[in-house]
Amino acid sequence: MSTEFVHTAFNTVQRELGCEFMDWEGWLWPNHFGDPVAEHRAVREGVGVWDESPLRKWDFRGPDALTAADRIFTNDMLGLAPGQVRYAPFCDEDGKMVGDGTVFKFDDEHAWVITALDSDLAHFERVANGLDVVMAPITATLPHVQLQGPRSRELLASVCDADVRSLGYFRFFPEAVQVGDVPAWVSRTGYSGELGYELFCGPDDAAELWGTLTGEGAVAYGLAAVETLRIESGLIFIGYDYFQHETGPFDMSLGKVIRLDTGDFKGKPALVQAGKSPPRRMVTLAVEGAEVPEYGAAVTSDGEPAGTLTSPCESPTLGRVIGLAVLETRFAELGTRLEVAVGAGTTASTVEPLPIYDPEKRRPRS
């Protein structure tokens, strides 16, 4: 029996460009448009557009909308200003990650939440039990794209009636603006390690929005390019770098978005203890040789287990093999020499900054 996958509102226009799709969590995602390395370079050097519509989107409304988000996520969501976005993981009672995502505050009684899985809603409802909030799924009615790359501001400013140049990092326009002839919400966020934006519209406007952006030179890219972009930029992905109810956020080096001094979020007592001496940290490993290790390859130090290479790739930007790795803290110092399993043997590797590309993250903030 065949499986029916959900198509995004950008499906037709992407098929016209020769997109090859792949399925993940019941939706068809664009994988590539023929040359993932060229797509990667378009984002690093120019501007690309990626259909990210299948990410799960939730509409939080009610007097306790922001209180619910604050109770769910480890970051301070009650402190958000209207038009501000914050990223954070969300955890179970034991302080293990259930997922991660972003919260967009419209006003004190309205927010969007963007995460990865349909099952996240059941977790939200359990954590927010007793609060005056309605949390509704809006994924199907709110398609969206990422417009990423050093030319993204220039392109968007040329087709948008709002002052895109003044939009701050992790800010968004709470009211829809015009992008070409399409009403859309615009945020200065992304998943590339570059200056970039996310644009949200109605399903009937998706094809026109896509045409407006590609007509001005945005290059379509898919998950194959996203994978190398995110690994270079130290961005994590569920099911590869972390696993539900197994991985702690300190393992992902997410301490900056875990507030332990205020608030009362799910899993906080466990994270207070874990935060005193995190047993594992995420790093970038530079791997010697031309062979790319497998996802989940063992990392050792003189034969002693040291951690796991969670997401490896051949970096188009750096021209060498790199990977995100979760290491025991004692092996996570910069410059530490380790071995990574490759084929029937091992190869040498070195601990590098996280991220290895633009470690100060100046490009997305530019």
- Cα separation, 179 vs 184, in Å, equals 6
CB 219 within 8 A of CB 343: no
pLDDT tens, 263-294? 899 999 999 999 999 999 999 999 999 999 99
CB 192 within 8 A of CB 40: no
pLDDT tens, 336-365? 999 999 999 999 999 999 999 999 999 999
- Give CA angle at 314 (25, 253), nearest 5°: 65
The pLDDT confidence band at residue 1, using thresholds 50, 70 and 90, is: very low
The pLDDT confidence band at residue 3, using thresholds 50, 70 and 90, is: confident
State residue 2's pLDDT score. Answer: 53
Please report, for the chain, the start and end positions of each structural domain, with discontinuous segments joined by +: 11-55+140-231, 56-121
Which residues have CB under 8 Å from 176's CB, separation 6+? 183, 184, 185
What's the chain's average pLDDT? 97
- Give CA angle at 175 (170, 178), nearest 5°: 100
* Strand 27-32 with 20-24, pairing: antiparallel
Question: Across-strand partners of 201?
Answer: none
- Cα separation, 360 vs 366, in Å, equals 11
CA gyration radius, the chain: 20
Q: Does domain 11-55+140-231 have CATH number 3.30.2020.30?
A: no
Q: Which CATH superfamily is domain 56-121 in?
A: Aminomethyltransferase beta-barrel domains (3.30.70.1400)
Neighbour tally for 205: CB within 10 Å: 18
| Residue 205 DSSP one-character state | G
Chain centroid to CA 6: 21
pLDDT tens, 145-171? 999 999 999 999 999 999 999 999 999
Which residue's entry shows tokens 């301070």? 76
* Cis amide linkage into residue 82, ω under 30° from 0: no
